[in-house]
Chains A and B, each alone.
Chain A
């Protein structure tokens, strides 16, 4: 099956700093990538959807200036949490699919990144 990797797997940072999380599709071209956030004992919440070469579409309540998403190539998307605060501490998960967001294509999930903001 298709493989999606994330880096780093966990990161601890000080409040006010920015953190970049990478999501890569290793053996396929990911036209669409999704970013989710999961707080402890809760389900995954979609943050944003991005098609390669286009601006990301953010879900309601997600600040686009705080969570910067770049999908510059068909195998790489990055999520930058700017000026991170303790309430941003969470498990961030990306997924990737080969199709455009308007049509069905199976999503393949990365292993997640655990962010802890002190």
Chain B
């Protein structure tokens, strides 16, 4: 699976939007961009995923660059419960992989009240 690069940490104020960037310059045509987050002392939680078009769900939005070499996870209004480590992961949906997720170091998001 191709590698992703994320900032080690970011800070946000409560109720403000947060933009978490991810670079994946070696992404292949069949790689989907997945985001998971891990709250302290818990297992990871799925957030969102996409291929080319921007995606929205109840948790977040995913903005994907036109060349797909980068993406941004958007939390529209950060809450204290959004403080977590956010992982950007590339996954090939069309075979040739183990089916497992390869976690990088992620971005630790802190939310200030």
Contact = CB atoms under 8 A, between A and B. Distances in A.
Instruction: Tell me, yes or no, whether A binds B.
Output: yes
Interface of A: 1, 4, 6, 32, 34, 36, 43-46, 49, 57, 91, 93-95, 97, 99-112, 114
Nearest to B30: A104
B41 A49 contact: no
Contacts, number: 65
A43 B103 contact: yes
Contact of A109 (B43, B91, B104): B43
A27 B101 CA distance: 22
Contacts of A97: 99
12 contacts: A34-B101, A36-B103, A43-B104, A44-B44, A57-B98, A95-B101, A97-B99, A99-B99, A102-B98, A104-B91, A104-B99, A107-B46
Interface residues of B, number: 24
Interface of B: 32, 38, 41-46, 87, 91-95, 97-106
B100 A34 contact: yes
B104 A103 contact: no
Contacts of B94: 104
A92 B105 CA distance: 17
Contact of B95 (A44, A102, A112): A102
Contacts of A104: 32, 91-94, 99
Most buried by A among B98, B102, B104, B106: B98
Given A44-B38, A93-B44, A102-B98, 17 more contacts: A34-B99, A36-B103, A43-B105, A44-B44, A45-B103, A46-B100, A100-B99, A102-B97, A104-B32, A104-B93, A105-B99, A106-B46, A108-B46, A110-B43, A111-B43, A112-B43, A114-B41
Contacts of A110: 43
Contacts of A112: 41-43
A50 to B, nearest CB: 11
Contacts of B98: 49, 57, 101-102
A43 B105 CA distance: 5
A36 to B, nearest CB: 8
